[in-house]
Structure 1
Amino acid sequence: MTRPPGPTTGRIAFKLERWHRRSVYATGLLLLLSGAAWLVLHYFLRPVTEFGESVNPLEPWAMKLHGAAAMAALFFVGSLLHMHVRRALRAGRNTLTGWAMIATLSFLTLTGYGLYYVAGESDRPLWSLLHWVLGFVVAVLFVVHVIVGRRSVHD
């Protein structure tokens, strides 16, 4: 019988439990989809009335869902710090994409905060552009991080 990786086997365990991994994946996917939905609704599906373009009625709902998912994501990213991030850094595994994830998620959080609390009407488009570009970057980076991490297990 083989033992799971951990202190008794001399290996550092930082693989997430199934429920934790699925929660991180689901939250990230919900963030990506709700953010992309908001972009499509805001820029491409604006109804035109006799008074000009107006807000798509689904746009506020996409933003509310995105905000709720962001709160859950902050919780799950925080939950990764102790077991996953700290132990991976100690083991020296997947540090390049890991640090890139930490930096990108930090900037994504700052731009989200900025959009909600700091941005005025004149600079909101810049904050928004930075935020959604970072959102797509972190989605790609996340996939790369998982792939590199899984490959490093077999090396």
Structure 2
Amino acid sequence: MPHRRSARLATWQLALFSTSGLGLWLSGTCWLLLHYYGQIEGEFGPEVNPAEPWMMKIHGLFLIAALLGIGGMFIAHIPKGWSQRHQRVAGVVLSGILGVLIISGYMLYYVGIEAVRAWTSVVHWFLGLSLPAIFTWHYVKARRSRKRKHK
């Protein structure tokens, strides 16, 4: 259990982020692969793979947990972690990317203008694919910082 004054996440919070993040990343990656390389040959030519809509439903399911976790970050983790300057850049970058992913995901679902959807889609999948690397950067910096403090 983390100390109340610490920005360190509780075990359940790390589990929530790990599970929802992995679920989002895998379902998004599977959707991308199915969309661009998984079309099936139908009676009248190429058709959408039947698994593609299911990947979006799974993606949305994992998004619910991720949004709950992100909301919780604004209550304790971000305010308590703001004083840790060595982590600030990584945290701001991670938060910014999460914000753009949320907004672009909303736009993909609700904006009907195809020109907007085209560039929004590229931004969304590029940032989504890169998110594990950004999260790892933030996490590793925090672990290194804790190790330095305990020496």
TM-score by length of 2: 0.90
User: Is the 2:25–2:129 contact (alpha carbons within 8 Å) kept by the matching residues of 1?
Assistant: yes
Structure number, greater radius of gyration: 1
Per the TM alignment, residue 108 of structure 1 is displaced from its structure 2 partner at its CA by 0.8
1:141 pairs with 2:126: no
- Measured in 2, the distance between the counterparts of 1:121 and 1:53 equals 21
Structure 2 residues not aligned, in runs of 5+: none
Aligned residue runs from structure 1 range 98-117, under 5 A: 98-117=91-110
* 1:84 alignment partner AA: H
1:45 pairs with 2:34: no
Distance of aligned partners of 1:49 and 1:5 in 2 relative to their CA distance in 1, 3 Å threshold: closer
TM-score by length of 1: 0.88
* 1:30 alignment partner AA: G
- Measured in 1, the distance between the counterparts of 2:141 and 2:49 equals 40
User: Is the 2:16–2:66 contact (alpha carbons within 8 Å) kept by the matching residues of 1?
Assistant: no
* 2:67 alignment partner AA: L
Q: Alignment RMSD, CA only? A: 1.5
Determine the structure 2 residue equivalent to 1:71: 64
Q: Looking at secondary structure, tell me which structure has more helix per residue.
A: 2
- Measured in 2, the distance between the counterparts of 1:63 and 1:77 equals 20
Per the TM alignment, residue 5 of structure 1 is displaced from its structure 2 partner at its CA by 4.3
* 1:128 alignment partner AA: S
Distance of aligned partners of 1:52 and 1:122 in 2 relative to their CA distance in 1, 3 Å threshold: farther
Match of 1:82 among 54, 67, 75: 75
- Measured in 2, the distance between the counterparts of 1:145 and 1:29 equals 16
Per the TM alignment, residue 93 of structure 1 is displaced from its structure 2 partner at its CA by 4.4
Match of 1:55 among 43, 48, 64: 48
Determine the structure 1 residue equivalent to 2:117: 124
- Measured in 1, the distance between the counterparts of 2:144 and 2:74 equals 21
- Measured in 2, the distance between the counterparts of 1:96 and 1:145 equals 9
- Measured in 1, the distance between the counterparts of 2:115 and 2:40 equals 23
Give the paired residue count.
Answer: 147
What's the % identity of the aligned pairs?
36
What secondary structure does 1:94 align onto? helix
- Measured in 2, the distance between the counterparts of 1:138 and 1:105 equals 8
Determine the structure 1 residue equivalent to 2:16: 23
